[in-house]
Amino acid sequence: MSATAREKQLRGWSLVGPGLLWTIAFFLVPLFIMAAYSLFQRVGGRIVTDLSLANYRLFFEKPHHHDALFNSLEVAVVTAAVSMFLAYPLAYILAYRVPPRWQRIALVAAILPFWTSYVVRSYSWLLVLSSEGIVSKALQWTGLCDGPVAIANTRAATIIGFVHFFTMLLTLTIFANLVQIPASYRRAAADLGASAFQTFWRVTLPLSIPGVMVGAFLTLVLTLGDYITPQILGGYRELLLPQAIMLQIQRNADFPMASAMSMILMVVISAVFVIFSRWLKIERL
Amino acid sequence: MARTRFILMAMLAAAGWSAGVQTAAAAPKELNVLSWCDHTDRELVGAFEKANGVKVNLKEYDGTGVALALLEQSKPGDWDVFVVDSIDVARVVKLGLLAPLNEADFPFNDIFPQVRTPELHKVDGKLYAVPEKFGYNTIAFNKAKVDPRDMRDAAVLWNPKYKGRLAVYDYYIPVMEMVGIGLGIKPAELNAGHLKAVKEKLFAMKAHSKVVGDVVTVQTALATGEVDIIAGGGEFAVSVLHKENPNLDWMLPDQGGVRWQQAIGVFAASQKKDLATQFIKYIMSPAGQGKLATSSCYWAMPANSKATLSAEQKKVLRWDEQPKFLANSYFYLRPDEAFDKALLDTWTEFLQHTP
């Protein structure tokens, strides 16, 4: 190998090295430890290191364990769908209808929810959605409902809390994608006789799919792993997987069972990544 | 170049030396306490810090399982004082976590006789923790919205009259014991054979409940009018709200209730055992007990009958009714590992159950 090639290789490693070391130390090693723990058992208040798949078997045998996974998937899919439905028009208006000088202000407004504490925001929603809250009062005042309506402490409340946050996230990823689509494409479509709808349907929408998919992927992954929102807004009416994992830790300090459940969550998230990978073009954002 | 390097090295050395000197000179005495949230009230620990020139670092937890998880991630000697449920003292002693204490150091004669419970705090005749505070997991309610007479029956927890008006405190052992009491099963007799009946009533409670959650969640639900009853609630859930809403009350049903009790001990691996013991002496003093009983996190009865409390505070804590309550309440169960797993499984099913 020539000196130049060696120098080039060395420079490459020096650039990649810190990131690689970080990933090994703070992702791969913890992941390996978690995988190993998932094969241990908690017996008599202590962790027994005999390897076994008992925790995984227990997870799939007991409906109250694996139902938590299905609940998480349902909530994540509904959240992603509703957030996407709300975020796309918002991002479209921001990218193409709002004058450039107002775009920055509109974007700041879009990311404002990210500036408040996640916990405070969730408790605020709890008050808004309670039977004494503003939503219930408004519904009664308009005559749409006879008595108090309590949305707090239900799955709907959890989804509302998630949607509030993720609509903004999706808006940003879709907006970033939309502004990169050259205006000449839309003009060319119009010159060739396409209507506004056809231009959107056949040009803008397909080209914005990567932004939608990155946002949808992030929404699904972050929703699947979130503990705070369902804990505060869901009122324990049902368990989502992160809550079921926390139960194992908080009640029994059963780290092996919690690790097995976390590994299952990791597998599900990896599967989501594989499904989305063909659209995940980060460089387009 | 050499000169620049020399200057840099000299600056680094000077900075290092000065930092070292500062650390050594300013290093305060510190005490690390692992406790329930009531000890984090600055009113409580501030007086001890001032009197002893010490900084008390508090880490709060909300269940022995969480505390054990924290301890597993800590080095021996990281912690000095442990506030733990009395019922779990023997368990943590078995794990080698607590150091023996000298009984003469603490005012045992002033502690309510029913609360001394040496069977919970002593192992092989040695004292490992001192009872410091107690209360009840029973029924808390808004007396302006429910009929208080109904609350005298533990079976009110699944009474259809209160459908949609119930919050359930998410602590499996006391609430399942309460269900047992409502079914006529004394907590000490609760066994795996009763779980089917208990589960049935838990599911009925789920159908009537609006929320299941931790102390803050159920407290918020009661305070905001979202619910009118807390199953498993007690003075710890409502006393602190008494000033804002005097209608928030609690009661022991005629069949009895569940008594919780917390104790305080010194970690076996602590390097500051004397200071830790000093802290426990302060907590057990009349002044410390008064502040602990009325901590901003939750109020409950002090173990020391000589606690410094005003007449109004004693009224809120139902001081005069304690002999009756103590006689009509049961301790937390001490299930073996298999039964504990079965209880937790049933509770998880209850949490997951959608009526």
Q: Residues A213-228: pLDDT tens digits?
A: 999 999 999 999 999 9
Confidence of residue A233 (pLDDT cuts 50, 70, 90): very high
Residue at B1 is within a domain = no
Residues B71, B108, single domain; the answer is: yes
Q: Burial, A100: exposed, middle or buried (Cβ in 10 Å; 0-12, 13-18, 19+)?
A: exposed
Question: Alpha-carbon distance A234 to B83, whole Å?
Answer: 30
User: At which residue do the structure tokens 């990567």 appear?
Assistant: A210
Residue at B205 is within a domain = yes
Q: Are A245 and A262 in contact (CB under 8 A)?
A: yes
Residues B275, B300, single domain; the answer is: yes
Local structure of B272: helix, strand or coil: coil
Return the DSSP state at B332.
Answer: P
Local structure of B120: helix, strand or coil: helix
What tokens appear for B154 in the block? 């533990």
What tokens appear for A16 in the block? 């990649």
Residues B343, B249, single domain; the answer is: yes
B333 neighbourhood in chain A, CB within 8 Å: none
The residue-averaged pLDDT of A162-186 equals 93
Neighbours of B109 (CB within 10 A): 10
Confidence of residue A283 (pLDDT cuts 50, 70, 90): low
Residues B202, B250, single domain; the answer is: yes
Contact A150 B354 (CB under 8 A): no
Contact B72 A255 (CB under 8 A): yes
A251 neighbourhood in chain B, CB within 8 Å: 63, 65, 172, 344
Residue at B229 is within a domain = yes
Contact A131 B225 (CB under 8 A): yes
Chain A residue at shortest CA distance from B71: A253
The residue-averaged pLDDT of A170-183 equals 93
Question: Alpha-carbon distance A252 to B288, whole Å?
Answer: 32
Q: Hey, which bits of chain B come out as E strands? A: 29-35, 54-60, 81-85, 122-123, 126-127, 130-142, 166-169, 209-213, 229-233, 248-251, 257-266, 301-302, 329-331
User: At which residue do the structure tokens 């009929």 appear?
Assistant: B147
Give the minimum alpha-carbon distance from B134 to chain A in angstroms, rounded to a whole number.
21
Residue at B6 is within a domain = no
Residues B190, B230, single domain; the answer is: yes
Query: Is the pLDDT at A199 greater than 60, yes or no?
Result: yes
In whole angstroms, how far apart are CA A156 and each of A58, A76, A126, A207?
Answer: 29, 12, 11, 32
Single-letter code of the amino acid located at A183: A
CB environment B214-242: b (16+ within 10 A), e (fewer): bbebbbbbbbebbbbbbbbbbbbbbbbbb
Contact B224 A45 (CB under 8 A): no
Strand B209-213 with B166-169, pairing:
parallel
Local structure of B130: helix, strand or coil: strand
Query: Is the pLDDT at A146 greater than 90, yes or no?
Result: no
The residue-averaged pLDDT of A10-28 equals 92
The DSSP line for chain A is --HHHHHHHHHHHHHHHHHHHHHIIIIIHHHHHHHHHHTSEEETTEEE----SHHHHHHHH-HHHHHHHHHHHHHHHHHHHHHHHHHHHHHHIIIIIS-HHHHHHHHHHHHGGGGS-HHHHHHHHHHHHSTTSHHHHHHHHTTS-SS----TTSHHHHHHHHHHHHHHHHHHHHHHHHTTS-HHHHHHHHHTT--HHHHIIIIIHHHHHHHHHHHHHHHHHHHHH--HHHHHHSTTSS--HHHHHHHHHHHH--HHHHHHHHHHHHHHHHHHHHHHTTT--GGG-
Q: Are B237 and B136 in contact (CB under 8 A)?
A: no
Greater confidence, A53 or B340?
Answer: A53
What tokens appear for A208 in the block? 């914005």
Question: Alpha-carbon distance B136 to A124, whole Å?
Answer: 30
Q: Are B56 and B33 in contact (CB under 8 A)?
A: yes
Residue at B4 is within a domain = no
Chain A residue at shortest CA distance from B69: A253
pLDDT of residue B21: 40
pLDDT of residue A205: 94
Residues B44, B153, single domain; the answer is: no
pLDDT of residue B5: 45
Q: Burial, A242: exposed, middle or buried (Cβ in 10 Å; 0-12, 13-18, 19+)?
A: buried
Residue at B89 is within a domain = yes
Tell me phi and psi for residue B126, to 5 degrees: -105, 140
B354 neighbourhood in chain A, CB within 8 Å: 237-238
Residue at B198 is within a domain = yes
Interface of A with B in 200-239 (CB under 8 A): 231-232, 235-239
Residues B176, B285, single domain; the answer is: no
Select the residue of A44, A239, A250 nearest B352 (Cβ to Cβ): A239
Full residue range of the structural domain in which residue B101 is found? 29-134+261-317
Residues B95, B162, single domain; the answer is: no
Contact A43 B211 (CB under 8 A): no
**What count of Cα atoms within 13 Å lies in the side-chain half-sphere of residue B244?**
10
Q: Are B304 and B284 in contact (CB under 8 A)?
A: yes
Question: Alpha-carbon distance B332 to B85, whole Å?
Answer: 9
pLDDT of residue A249: 83
For residue B329, list its beta bridge partners.
Answer: B257
Q: Are B213 and B166 in contact (CB under 8 A)?
A: no
Contact B72 A236 (CB under 8 A): no
Query: Is the pLDDT at A123 greater than 70, yes or no?
Result: yes
Question: Alpha-carbon distance B50 to B25, whole Å?
Answer: 19
CB of A38 within 8 Å of a chain B CB? The answer is no
Closest by Cα among A172, A150, A263 to A216: A172
CB environment B62-71: b (16+ within 10 A), e (fewer): ebbbbbbbeb
**Contacts A–B by Cβ distance under 8 A:** 87
Contacts of A51 by beta carbon, 8 Å cutoff, 6+ apart: A39, A40
pLDDT of residue A281: 63
B85 neighbourhood in chain A, CB within 8 Å: none
> What predicted TM-score, i.e. pTM, was given to this entire model?
0.77
Residue at B252 is within a domain = yes
pLDDT of residue B25: 43
pLDDT of residue B226: 86
Contact A253 B345 (CB under 8 A): no
* Domains detected in chain A: 39-284 (1.10.3720.10)
Select the residue of B66, B168, B226 nearest A250 (Cβ to Cβ): B66
Which residues of B lie closer than 8 Å to A, measured between beta carbons? 62-63, 65-66, 68-69, 72, 91, 94-95, 168, 170, 172, 210-213, 217, 220-221, 224-226, 337, 340-341, 344-345, 348-349, 351-352, 354
Return the DSSP state at B309.
Answer: -
Residues B255, B288, single domain; the answer is: no
Question: Alpha-carbon distance A53 to A49, whole Å?
Answer: 12
Select the residue of A152, A232, A238 nearest B352 (Cβ to Cβ): A238
Query: Considering just the CA atoms, what is the radius of gyration of chain A in Å?
Result: 24
pLDDT of residue B147: 95
**What count of Cα atoms within 13 Å lies in the side-chain half-sphere of residue B92?**
34
pLDDT tens, residue by residue, B180-234: 999 999 998 999 999 999 999 999 999 999 999 888 889 888 988 889 999 999 9
Residues B205, B296, single domain; the answer is: no
Residues B129, B265, single domain; the answer is: yes
The residue-averaged pLDDT of A108-129 equals 85
CB environment B172-198: b (16+ within 10 A), e (fewer): bbbbbbbbbbbbebebeebeeeebeeb
Select the residue of B94, B211, B224 nearest A235 (Cβ to Cβ): B211
A65 neighbourhood in chain B, CB within 8 Å: 348
Specify the number of domains making up chain B. 2
pLDDT of residue B12: 41
Interface of A with B in 55-74 (CB under 8 A): 62-65, 67-68
The residue-averaged pLDDT of A13-29 equals 93
Residues B108, B82, single domain; the answer is: yes
Interface of A with B in 128-187 (CB under 8 A): 130-132, 150, 152-153
Q: Are B157 and B201 in contact (CB under 8 A)?
A: yes
CATH number of the domain within which B79 lies: 3.40.190.10
Q: Enumerate residue ranges in chain B where pLDDT < 50.
A: 1-27
pLDDT of residue B28: 56
